[in-house]
């Protein structure tokens, strides 16, 4: 089974779980991921804990929730689709007429069949979500609004896996596990992070340390940063937020605030070869945990590489962002891109050719022996790499200049090092 398929099957298994910022849905999700990654640590942070300007919220649990009509028919039910209840709804048990009911119903304008995803994390409130078509077809009458929920002191749960390399400099991969049943945003993220972590573990000769996080969005990254900021600032050389990485429509990139960190440079380099038509957004289009990682004073080198970006595809934050929207091919493409990004970073260095003038490649069997028009073309990639290997340009620079992917240059680097013609220099 392809890795794309494995990721898709895992997402399918996680899809029905009732996730929120905190609570049992997150724990259940992480316990399934730990089956794949036994070394993942799961941490609990008590409700009420301060995290910079924020406070870890209460846990939210829903025993049952529905709306029934005066005949006792349930017109929507939380157990059919967890998007039907506004996230963090306080309990309610009231009969109301249709007009009042509508004050508590959220629909998605312009998408009559979509159930929107709505939350009210930080102000006590209750509400229901349904399709516009359903709401508009409700007959007058009495309706019973029932949300049997509880908000209580518990904890915020997150998963963390640090895979050590030869050096203690780190690559951060952050994804989130706080959304109920939606596929691209968000299950594609946790399953891709899991597959990439497995791949990293399988590579025994890593230069860098990899830090994977499965956290609730916003409060999770803020909480994590409040506990690890100094370490992350001094160790992180590149980071990526994994969100919306499962559909197959396009590739997208959101730069870091700085715009030119190693993460940005590697991302743009790989995307320029893998999918030159990729959409290059501005940091103004940020929206997920990169907001925290890039906040002034935090200043981590974190960008976003994804497929159809959050907020930019019509299915986003609705019931239409389901398992039909993502695909094994979509996930596999994104996996390939991140693998190439990691490789590019692993090999990125300032290279310098060790002899003066061009080396005589011919006597080493690395150059065509008959010189005629075009004979040069077959070795142009290597010759161009040598021409720019001046110790002042790193692998990404050279790849960009000579229009040859890092993946093609890595074997050339190996060959030139074997011939004692190339060295790595400190920048």
Interface contacts to a second copy, rule CB under 8 A: 51-54, 86, 106, 108, 116-123, 125, 127, 218, 221-222, 225-226, 229, 257, 283-284, 286-287, 291-292, 294-299, 311, 316-317, 352-353, 355-360, 362-363, 369-373, 376, 384, 386-391, 401-403
How far is 380 from 14, CA to CA, in rounded Å? 48
Please, which residue, 15 or 106, has the CB nearer to a second copy? 106
From residue 18, alpha-carbon distances to 45, 176, 203, 373 in Å are 20, 14, 34, 66
Please, which residue, 145 or 331, has the CB nearer to a second copy? 145
Please, which residue, 310 or 338, has the CB nearer to a second copy? 310
Minimum distance, C-beta of residue 49 to a second copy, in the bound complex (Å): 14
Minimum distance, C-beta of residue 342 to a second copy, in the bound complex (Å): 27
From residue 35, alpha-carbon distances to 39, 163, 212, 290 in Å are 9, 17, 16, 28
Please, which residue, 257 or 307, has the CB nearer to a second copy? 257
Please, which residue, 36 or 299, has the CB nearer to a second copy? 299
73: its two tokens: 């028919």
From residue 135, alpha-carbon distances to 114, 132, 139 in Å are 11, 5, 9
Please, which residue, 191 or 389, has the CB nearer to a second copy? 389
Please, which residue, 186 or 339, has the CB nearer to a second copy? 186
Minimum distance, C-beta of residue 256 to a second copy, in the bound complex (Å): 11
With vertex at residue 291, the alpha carbon angle to CA 344 and CA 247, rounded to the nearest 5 degrees, is: 60
Please, which residue, 9 or 260, has the CB nearer to a second copy? 260
How far is 278 from 370, CA to CA, in rounded Å? 41
If phi over 0 gives left and psi between -120 and 50 gives alpha, with beta otherwise, what is residue 126? beta
Minimum distance, C-beta of residue 326 to a second copy, in the bound complex (Å): 19
Please, which residue, 106 or 275, has the CB nearer to a second copy? 106
Please, which residue, 41 or 355, has the CB nearer to a second copy? 355
Minimum distance, C-beta of residue 123 to a second copy, in the bound complex (Å): 4
Minimum distance, C-beta of residue 420 to a second copy, in the bound complex (Å): 11
How far is 57 from 275, CA to CA, in rounded Å? 41
Rg of the chain, C-alpha, whole Å: 25
What would the DSSP string read from start to end of 100-137? Answer: HHHTTEE--TT-TTPPB--B-SSS----EE--HHHHHT
109: its two tokens: 């304008």
Residues across the chain: 427
From residue 15, alpha-carbon distances to 79, 242, 314 in Å are 13, 17, 20
Contact at 8 Å (CB) between 264 and 239?
A: no
Minimum distance, C-beta of residue 314 to a second copy, in the bound complex (Å): 10
Minimum distance, C-beta of residue 293 to a second copy, in the bound complex (Å): 9
How far is 26 from 14, CA to CA, in rounded Å? 10
What would the DSSP string read from start to end of 219-264? Answer: HHHHHHHHHHHHHHHHHEEEEEEE-S---SS--EEE--SSS-SHHH
Minimum distance, C-beta of residue 30 to a second copy, in the bound complex (Å): 23
Minimum distance, C-beta of residue 427 to a second copy, in the bound complex (Å): 15
Sign of the four-CA dihedral 32, 333, 384, 260? negative
Please, which residue, 211 or 286, has the CB nearer to a second copy? 286
What would the DSSP string read from start to end of 335-370? Answer: HHHHHHHHHHHHH--EEEESSSS----GGGT-S-SS
Q: Diameter of the chain by CA atoms?
A: 91
Minimum distance, C-beta of residue 288 to a second copy, in the bound complex (Å): 12
């Amino acid at each position: 089974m392809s890795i794309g398929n494995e990721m898709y099957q895992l997402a399918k298994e996680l899809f029905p779980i009732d996730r929120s910022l905190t609570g049992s849905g997150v724990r259940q999700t992480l316990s399934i991921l730990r089956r794949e990654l036994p070394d993942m640590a799961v941490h609990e942070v008590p409700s009420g804990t301060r995290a910079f300007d924020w406070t870890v919220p209460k846990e939210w649990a829903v025993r049952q929730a529905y709306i029934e009509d005066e005949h006792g028919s349930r017109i929507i039910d939380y157990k059919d689709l967890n998007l039907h209840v506004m996230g963090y709804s306080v309990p309610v048990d009231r009969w109301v007429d249709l007009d009042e009911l509508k004050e508590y119903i959220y629909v998605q304008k312009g998408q009559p069949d979509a159930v929107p995803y709505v939350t009210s994390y930080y102000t006590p409130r209750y509400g229901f979500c349904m399709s516009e078509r359903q709401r508009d077809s409700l007959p007058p009458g009495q309706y019973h609004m029932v949300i049997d929920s509880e908000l209580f002191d518990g904890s915020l749960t997150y998963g963390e896996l640090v895979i050590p390399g030869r050096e203690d400099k780190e690559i951060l991969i952050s994804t989130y596990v706080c959304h109920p049943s939606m596929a691209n945003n968000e299950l594609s993220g946790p399953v891709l992070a899991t597959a990439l972590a497995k791949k990293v573990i399988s590579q025994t000769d890593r230069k860098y340390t990899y830090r994977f996080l499965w956290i609730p969005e916003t409060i999770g990254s803020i909480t994590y940063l409040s506990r690890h900021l100094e370490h992350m600032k001094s160790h992180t050389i590149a980071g990526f937020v994994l969100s919306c990485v499962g559909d197959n429509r396009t590739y997208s990139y959101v730069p870091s605030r700085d715009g030119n960190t190693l993460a940005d440079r590697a991302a743009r380099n790989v995307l320029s070869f893998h999918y030159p038509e990729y959409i290059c957004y501005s940091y103004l289009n940020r929206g997920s945990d990169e907001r925290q990682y890039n906040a002034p004073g935090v200043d981590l080198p974190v960008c976003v590489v994804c497929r159809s970006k959050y907020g930019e595809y019509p299915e986003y934050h609705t019931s239409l962002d389901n398992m039909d929207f993502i695909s094994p091919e979509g996930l596999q493409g994104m996996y390939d891109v991140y693998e190439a990004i990691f490789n590019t970073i692993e090999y990125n260095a300032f290279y310098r050719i060790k002899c003066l003038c061009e080396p005589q490649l011919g006597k080493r069997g690395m150059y065509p022996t008959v010189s005629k028009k075009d004979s040069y073309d077959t070795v142009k990639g290597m010759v161009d790499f040598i021409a720019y290997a001046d110790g002042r340009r790193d692998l990404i620079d050279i790849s960009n200049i000579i229009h040859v992917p890092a993946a093609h240059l890595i074997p050339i680097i190996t060959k030139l090092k074997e011939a004692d013609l190339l060295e790595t220099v400190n920048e």
